[in-house]
Amino acid sequence: MNIQRVIATFIKEGTLLLRDWPGLLMLLGMPMILIIVMAIIQDVPFKDYQDVKFNLVWSDDDQKPLGDSLKSHFIHSGQFTLIDQFNDKPINTNLARQFISEGKYPVGVIIKKGTYAEMVNKTNKIVNVIGQNMGNPAIIPVRPAVDSISVVLIFDPVAKNTFRMAVQNALERMLFKVQFDLLFKKISSNNTNNSSERIIDTHEVLANSITQENLGRLKNESLVMNSVQHNVPAWIVFAIFFLVIPLSGNYIKEKNEGSRLRIAMSPGSYFDIINGKVLLYTCFGIFQFLFLLTISIMVLPYFGLPGLDIGHEWWNVILAAVVITFSAISFGMLIGSYFNTYHQAMMFGSITIILMSAIGGIWIPIEVLPHWMQSLAKLSPLHWSLSLVQDVFLRGIVWSRFLVKMSVLMGFGTICLFASTYFHNRK
């Protein structure tokens, strides 16, 4: 072995590596960012939903002690941040439903008017039963029929079943305590023997106390809750954005082989060339989107899974596919025009897509992430893409918010295209 040649090669490659400071920064910085973000993301599945603090929309149309007691329990639990005001006014039922259906918040509680009266009536009935069992006559007037306690739990249709159950269990515990506090207060005030606790039917106290309400486009709850309906659209978005990698790679290859220079010397604007590339890959991305949808609808049932339900408005699906693909392709063009080497573009593109998908809600629900990361998610085009397909497949189309999300993605894609042209002309 020629030691001198080995040393010379070592020095040469080290010099080239140090000169390529963007590549060196990529090699060190991108994996560092990936490790930090993924460590935070992957820590979430190891936590119980009980350990996560959620925003909870609160609407109390009853304005009785029940609402105040439940509200106090929620606040002191430390698990929820109550959203009960909007523009310095109490949130009503309609506004609460709007916030949840739009995906602004994951969960809400509605206490309907007359709920406390229903609870008091049910409590009086139970006290009378206890008194009769203890040999005392019924002394508290009650209505002939006892209605259910009208506490409604509303969820964003995107919310996972484990999250729904965690919130419902928390509400049931709190409602249970409020009901029993009222019950024993009534027992004490009517001089009923407190030892009668043993004959209280807890099922009677809690029966039909909480109602869950689905605000999505799908009225079949089992369809909304299945894994395919939730997860497949997210992974389709992820697959579309991975078009960034081959696109940016081809762009770099053109540059290194000199074909881009020949194209640039041909008549016309280079922006036309970019538009041609974007058009081709956007068409391919739309085809890929529809192909994956078809597989999800027709093939997954053969594996014992429910098929994806996309509704009857295919053109909404097409619109979502167009804007999502356009934003992904434009981002790929930007990466290809900015970086000088294939490896730089590949590393930046792949890690960036993984990071944006992680914070954008592709892997785990955004509501379980730290609050600062939930805010950061709005910078990810995958977050807006996912929210767009969730409107199509779960929430239902409301054009005011659907157009906003499409505008954000189109704006992102347009900025990327102009930036790509700028970096091309600079080089």
Locate 312 and state its tokens: 């009857």
Share of the chain above pLDDT 70, in %: 69
Residues 161 and 265 placed together within one structural domain of the fold? no
Q: Is the pLDDT of residue 410 over 90?
A: yes
Q: Identify the band that residue 411 occupies on the pLDDT scale cut at 50, 70 and 90.
A: very high
Report which of residues 130 and 206 the model is more confident about. Answer: 130
Residues 231 and 202 placed together within one structural domain of the fold? no
Mean predicted lDDT score pLDDT of the chain: 75
Q: Is position 288 within any domain?
A: yes
Q: Residue 396 burial by CB count (10 A; 0-12/13-18/19+): exposed, middle or buried?
A: middle
CATH number of the domain residue 65 falls in = 3.40.1710
Helix (H, G, I), strand (E, B) or coil at 210: strand
Q: Is the pLDDT of residue 384 over 90?
A: yes
- Residue where one domain finishes, among candidates 147, 181, 215: 215
Total-model pTM: 0.71
Residues 373 and 232 placed together within one structural domain of the fold? yes
Q: Residue 55 burial by CB count (10 A; 0-12/13-18/19+): exposed, middle or buried?
A: middle
Residues 388 and 295 placed together within one structural domain of the fold? yes
Number of domains the chain is built from: 2
Q: Is position 11 within any domain?
A: no
Q: 400-419 b/e with 16+ CB inside 10 Å = b?
A: ebbeebbebbbebbeebbeb
Q: Is the pLDDT of residue 323 over 90?
A: yes
Query: For the residues 391-415, what does the mean pLDDT come to?
Result: 86
229-to-233, 392, 394 alpha-carbon distances in Å = 7, 11, 8
Query: 151: part of which helix (H) or strand (E)?
Result: strand 151-155
Residues 236 and 381 placed together within one structural domain of the fold? yes
3-state helix, strand, coil in the chain (%, to 5): 70, 5, 25
Specify the DSSP class assigned to residue 297.
Answer: H
Locate 320 and state its tokens: 């979502």
- CA–CA separation, 239 and 217 (whole Å): 25
Q: Across 190-204, 262-276, 325-339, which has the greatest mean pLDDT?
A: 325-339
For the chain, what's the residue count? 427
Helix (H, G, I), strand (E, B) or coil at 421: helix
- Residue where one domain finishes, among candidates 186, 215, 244: 215
Asked if 187 and 82 count as a contact pair (C-beta separation under 8 A), the reply is no
Report which of residues 355 and 52 the model is more confident about. Answer: 355
Angle at Cα 33 formed by Cα 32 and Cα 36, nearest 5°?
A: 90
- CA–CA separation, 94 and 85 (whole Å): 13
- CA–CA separation, 241 and 350 (whole Å): 10
Residues 196 and 235 placed together within one structural domain of the fold? no
CB atoms within 10 A of CB 271: 14
Q: Is position 380 within any domain?
A: yes
- pLDDT of 304 reads 80
Residues 184 and 262 placed together within one structural domain of the fold? no
Q: Identify the band that residue 312 occupies on the pLDDT scale cut at 50, 70 and 90.
A: low
Residues 266 and 351 placed together within one structural domain of the fold? yes
Q: Residue 331 burial by CB count (10 A; 0-12/13-18/19+): exposed, middle or buried?
A: buried
Tell me which residue range forms the domain holding 105. Answer: 53-215
Residues 133 and 262 placed together within one structural domain of the fold? no
Asked if 42 and 35 count as a contact pair (C-beta separation under 8 A), the reply is no
- Residue where one domain finishes, among candidates 174, 189, 215: 215
Specify the DSSP class assigned to residue 212.
Answer: E
Residues 231 and 164 placed together within one structural domain of the fold? no
Locate 234 and state its tokens: 């997210």
Q: Is position 12 within any domain?
A: no
How far apart are the two ends of the chain, measured CA to CA in Å? Answer: 42
Contacts of 106 (CB under 8 A, 6+ apart): 54, 55, 100, 155, 156, 158, 159, 163, 365, 367
Q: Identify the band that residue 195 occupies on the pLDDT scale cut at 50, 70 and 90.
A: very low
Residues 283 and 363 placed together within one structural domain of the fold? yes
Asked if 359 and 380 count as a contact pair (C-beta separation under 8 A), the reply is yes
Report which of residues 296 and 213 the model is more confident about. Answer: 296
Q: Is position 7 within any domain?
A: no
- CA–CA separation, 109 and 175 (whole Å): 12
Helix (H, G, I), strand (E, B) or coil at 60: strand
Pairing of strands 107-111, 89-90: unpaired
Q: Is position 16 within any domain?
A: no
Q: Identify the band that residue 194 occupies on the pLDDT scale cut at 50, 70 and 90.
A: very low
Specify the DSSP class assigned to residue 80.
Answer: E
Task: List, for residues 26-44, the tens digit of each pLDDT value.
Answer: 666 666 676 666 566 555 5
Locate 80 and state its tokens: 């929820």
CB atoms within 10 A of CB 292: 19
Q: Which residue has the tokens 């739990």?
A: 153
- CA–CA separation, 95 and 153 (whole Å): 14
- CA–CA separation, 389 and 298 (whole Å): 19
Q: Is the pLDDT of residue 93 over 50?
A: yes
Share of the chain above pLDDT 90, in %: 6
Residues 399 and 259 placed together within one structural domain of the fold? yes
Asked if 120 and 182 count as a contact pair (C-beta separation under 8 A), the reply is yes
Asked if 421 and 270 count as a contact pair (C-beta separation under 8 A), the reply is yes
Q: Is position 39 within any domain?
A: yes
